[in-house]
Amino acid sequence: MSRRVDPVLPRLVESYFREYLDRVRGASHHTVVAYRDTLRLFFTFMAGTRRCDVSALRVDHLDVQIVTAFLTHLEATRRNSPATRNCRLAAIRSFVRHLARNDPPRAGQYHRILSLPAKKTPTRMATYLEPEEARHVLDRPDRRTALGRRDHALLLLLYNTGARVSEALDVRVHDVERARPPHVRVRGKGRRERLCPLWSETMRALDALPAMQSGKPDQPLFLNRRAERLTRDGVAHMLRKYVRQAAGNMPTLHRRRVTPHVLRHSCAVALLQAGIDVSVIRDYLGHASVATTSRYITTNLQMKRDVLEAFWHRAGLTSTRTTPWRPTSNVLSFLASL
């Protein structure tokens, strides 16, 4: 005799994605995909633990013990980092809050899950390229070929605007404005839009793309060999290739892990070094909080040194030159005898 399928969980899952994420929150496609993948992993793990099919899962199965076991599974078995573990937990929490709103009789069960804390993770320093390093990478694509011109335009756009790679790949022909000053419309997290000015060099590179000459306003700018939208993995592979090539003339690039997001960090640090106010950079990059932007200040030693020098001068202190200590020959003889 087959088990009776509980319709509550499938109904709540569907209402969460179609009603809450889409209509209430207006979540972006990237958020929906990330939450979808998390719940897919979670339900598969839960079904394996309960030794049943996913279709046989019930709301009663979703408790704090199974969520805790899933988080442990992510780190111990899947070798996910604590940061990834926290992202998965955030997605589960969002779903459980939806359950609590729509299933009050089990509120206590859901609140115990919501009480699970995120794991503390070490704050990593943002990796970035100095302008000279970035220029060496940007100059690597062979602009005599169609793919080289595409790659050069994409790298320029990423560095010029500080856009996330997903935002750059979403740019379409009608998002680029040649009006003075030239600018591009970028759609970020939470579907927030921002306008980013373009260097004349970037505008010329974009104008050379086939999409800009196609007469199709809704066509994506960056396409692969099959005339399909370029993927994030494709961009990461392309950037690694050019970094390896650039390392021949720029030794500091050797063994550096340069991802598309590193170009975003590089843009932010370059703006800070140019003296641009943090609040302006926040809007330029599309950060929700200025605190996110401020972390770039901690990554650049020269900026810290400039602040220290300014403080030293402002305090009216004068530096004193001290004669460096030099050991006598007798001391060296003594140490050599030990």
- For the stretch 117-145, pLDDT in tens is 999 887 777 788 999 999 999 999 999 99
Q: Are residue 185 and residue 237 in the same domain, yes or no?
A: yes
Q: Please, which residues bridge with residue 172 across strands?
A: 220
Active site residue 216: no
- Nearest alpha carbon to residue 246 among 145, 152, 149: 152
Per-residue model confidence (pLDDT) at position 2: 44
Residue 292 lies in a domain: yes
Residue 166 lies in a domain: yes
Residue 194, CA distances (Å) to 126, 133, 222, 293 in order: 23, 27, 20, 16
Residue 111, CA distances (Å) to 53, 63, 325 in order: 26, 10, 65
Q: Are residue 219 and residue 278 in the same domain, yes or no?
A: yes
Map residue 196 onto helix, strand or coil. strand
- For the stretch 231-259, pLDDT in tens is 999 999 999 999 999 999 999 999 889 99
CA distance 318 to 34: 55
Catalytically annotated residue among 150, 164, 183, 265 = 164
Active site residue 313: no
Per-residue model confidence (pLDDT) at position 237: 96
Q: What are phi and psi of 321, to 5 degrees?
A: -90, 125
Per-residue model confidence (pLDDT) at position 222: 96
Residue 169 lies in a domain: yes
CA distance 149 to 278: 33
* Number of domains forming the structure of the chain: 2
pLDDT for residue 307 is more than 60: no
Residue 156 lies in a domain: yes
Longest dimension (CA), the chain: 96
Residue 46 lies in a domain: yes
Q: How confident is the model at residue 101 (pLDDT cuts 50, 70, 90)?
A: very high
| Residue 166 neighbours by CB under 8 Å, 6+ apart | 30, 232
Q: Are residue 180 and residue 212 in the same domain, yes or no?
A: yes
Residue 312, CA distances (Å) to 48, 193, 272, 303 in order: 63, 42, 21, 14
Across all residues in the chain, what is the average pLDDT?
Answer: 87
Total Cβ atoms within 10 A of residue 158: 26
Active site residue 287: yes
Catalytically annotated residue among 264, 265, 282, 284 = 264
Host domain of residue 30: 8-114
Question: Where would I find the beta strands (DSSP E) of the chain?
Answer: 176-177, 183-187, 193-197
Q: Are residue 155 and residue 271 in the same domain, yes or no?
A: yes
Q: Please, which residues bridge with residue 220 across strands?
A: 172
Q: Are residue 239 and residue 149 in the same domain, yes or no?
A: yes
Catalytically annotated residue among 189, 194, 229, 256 = 189
Residue 304, CA distances (Å) to 77, 82, 274, 314 in order: 41, 29, 14, 15
Residue 260 lies in a domain: yes
Active site residue 35: no
Q: Are residue 233 and residue 168 in the same domain, yes or no?
A: yes
Q: Are residue 170 and residue 283 in the same domain, yes or no?
A: yes
Per-residue model confidence (pLDDT) at position 275: 81
Per-residue model confidence (pLDDT) at position 301: 56
Mean pLDDT is highest, among 68-72, 214-218, 283-287, for 68-72
Catalytically annotated residue among 35, 159, 242, 296 = 296
Per-residue model confidence (pLDDT) at position 1: 39
Of 64, 84, 114, which one is at a domain's C-terminal end? Answer: 114
Q: Are residue 162 and residue 280 in the same domain, yes or no?
A: yes
Q: What is the CATH number of the domain that holds 214?
A: 1.10.443.10
Residue 334 lies in a domain: no
Active site residue 88: no
Q: Are residue 197 and residue 88 in the same domain, yes or no?
A: no
Per-residue model confidence (pLDDT) at position 239: 97
Q: How confident is the model at residue 47 (pLDDT cuts 50, 70, 90)?
A: very high
Q: How confident is the model at residue 213 (pLDDT cuts 50, 70, 90)?
A: confident
pLDDT for residue 27 is more than 80: yes
- For the stretch 50-98, pLDDT in tens is 999 999 999 999 999 999 999 999 999 999 999 999 999 999 999 999 9
CA distance 251 to 246: 8
Catalytically annotated residue among 36, 58, 229, 261 = 261
Give ∠ CA 237-163-212 in degrees, rounded to 5: 80
